[in-house]
Structure formats: structure tokens, C-alpha cells
Structure 1
Amino acid sequence: MSRLLTTSRLSAYLRQNGRCFYCGASMWLESPEAFAREHGIPIERTGRFRCTAEHLQARSEGGGDEPDNIVAACTFCNHNRHGRKRPMRPEPYKHFVTARLRRRRWHQPWVFENPMLLRSEPLEEEVE
């Protein structure tokens, strides 16, 4: 990961209060062990909450690693977006995730049982 991308990811993580741009879940940057202790979950369940840098405009479409093009997203949301045959644009994908969250059909059931991990929807000030 480039230095600029690392810096942009950290900036987005801080700007978003450590919450995923798409689902609003708490994320970790450096210590899955500390995250597991803080949230009372087994270490094996922390992978989905690792913070990733998400490009709002893909590099292939001319987007760069600048802070205004990067948001922080949990591994689960990032991989699900890009694992689709035709990845959705960021805003429609965010609406898709929010709708699934409302029906408790996005994360595994145990995630919804831990109020520290997830809130029902991302804060408005996190949307740019």
C-alpha cells in the first residue's frame, strides 16, 4: 500500500470515527487482539472489521489515493462490493447495505447482538 493511501485511509478512519462508510460497524486498524477484547468477541471474528481504504472513484476510472477519494470501509463491506460481477457505485451500494442492515440481513446474527459493534445506520456527517 502506498504511503499516500495509508495516510488517506487513516484520515478517513479518523474522520468517520472508526466506523465503516457503508454499514457503520466499528473497525480496527492495527490490533485485532485489542479490538476483540474491547468488543468482547473471539479473535477469529475480527477479520471482517479490519479497516480498508475504499476508493470512491476507482483507480481504473481515474481516481487516485487522495483523501477526498478515500473512505474507510470494513473488510466485509469492501469485499462484498468488489466481489460482485458488476460492483455498484458507492452511494447506491451504501443504500443497499443500509436496507439490508434494517432487515438484519447484512452481517451475521451475532454482530447485531453486540451494540458496540454496529449501529443501525451510519451517521449523516460520515456521508460525503
Structure 2
Amino acid sequence: MANSKPNAESPFERIGGRVRLARVVDRFYTLMDQDPAYAALRHMHAADLTPMRASLTDFLTAWMGGPRDWFEQRPGACVMSAHARLGVTRETADQWVSAMSRALRETVSDAPLVEAMLGALTQMSRGMSRASA
């Protein structure tokens, strides 16, 4: 009889762990930094993207079921509230989703996982633009 145990692998494990997420984040910030299509989004960030690369990698790691360092280092933090002061607009939210979509599709081969992530990240990003309006 075949093993009928459901796959209990977390999205974090499915994507390839922190190493793969760091590649996604690196590609995301490279696109944001170099592609003029993301100029408004880039303008919202400091010149040095190094701290943001580390923070987004930590956030995505925790969000996908990996080590929860991002949340443990920021007790009570809310990612939505943290972005409220930045003045996220629908334009910058859509630029964020576009750059993340490209980064994910270029670095992750698990299309169903990518689509699930993008659905949730799109809702989160657009929620930030409503929250700051």
C-alpha cells in the first residue's frame, strides 16, 4: 500500500528555505534598484538597501513557516502598521507586487507555491495602500 500520509512540508521548506528566500529578496531589490518601472517604489527606500534585504528575508522566512526571528526581534510588530508612515500608494503597492512577482518567477520553480504567495502578498500590499490613504 502506498504511503497516504499527507505532505506536511511547510511553504518555507517547499521554497528551499532561507537560502532560496534570500535569492528572491536579492533579485527583488536588484529589480527595484535598477528598473525604472519601479522608480516610485525605489524612492521610498534609503540609498543602502542592505538592511531592507535582511529584514525582508527574515520576514518572508517567518511568514512562510521558518524560524520566527523577525517577529521575535520585533515583539508586537505589525507589518501593515510599519508601512503606514511610508505613504504607500496603489502605484507603489503595484510596483512592489510586480517586482516581487518577477523575482519569484525568476528564482522559484514551484509555480503553485509562487501563485499562492503572490495572492497573499498582493492582498497585503494593496491593504497597505488603503491603510495609508
- For normalisation by structure 2, the TM-score amounts to 0.30
Larger Rg: 2
Flag the structure with higher strand content.
1
- For normalisation by structure 1, the TM-score amounts to 0.31
Flag the structure with higher helix content.
2
